């Protein structure tokens, strides 16, 4: 069973993108577009104070008539973000995301940011795990048939 640290290692040494809370929503959207990601962490004085996602943009900017260039991240970010530890299982993370209706989980160990995982990361990992299990079971069944 894969854990969060397995996913982070599988993703490789990709940077965790962040933007200052006084930056504009447009600045955050540019970072997200350039990195082809759906969320950025929001910092204040090198401390993470929230997360800004595509969903935040759609619901808190566009639908409210705010402009991306004139709106500060601190006004529309999600400040009550949920974090997980790196030893948590992928299944447990998926369950958390489903219950909370979120698509990104920052990973924090001993107060230090380790990375961030997305719903897509989890789905890819869990599908790979299931595929390996199926192959193992097929091999077991095929080997058992030859013994009879």
pTM: 0.77
Contacts 24+ apart (CB under 8 A), 55-62: 55/103, 57/25, 57/29, 61/25
Taking the alpha carbons of 40, 43, 46, 48 in that order, is the dihedral positive or negative?
A: negative
Contact present, 4 and 93 (Cβ < 8 Å): yes
> Tens of pLDDT along 6-64?
898 888 777 789 999 999 999 999 999 999 999 999 999 988 899 999 999 999 998 99
Contact present, 97 and 116 (Cβ < 8 Å): no
Backbone phi, psi, residue 50, to 5°: 175, -175
């Amino acid at each position: 069973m894969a854990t969060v640290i397995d996913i982070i290692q599988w993703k490789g040494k990709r940077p965790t993108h962040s933007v200052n809370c006084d930056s504009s929503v447009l600045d955050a959207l540019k970072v997200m577009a350039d990195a082809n990601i759906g969320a950025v962490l929001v910092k204040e004085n090198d401390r993470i104070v929230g997360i800004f996602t595509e969903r935040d943009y759609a619901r808190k900017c566009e639908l409210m008539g705010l402009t991306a260039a004139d709106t500060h991240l601190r006004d529309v970010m999600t400040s009550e973000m949920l974090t997980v530890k790196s030893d948590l299982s992928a299944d447990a993370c998926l369950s958390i995301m489903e219950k909370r209706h979120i698509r990104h989980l920052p990973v924090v160990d001993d107060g230090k940011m380790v990375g961030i995982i997305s719903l897509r990361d989890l789905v890819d990992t869990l599908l790979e795990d299931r595929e390996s299990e199926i192959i193992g079971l097929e091999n077991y069944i095929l080997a058992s048939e030859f013994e009879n």
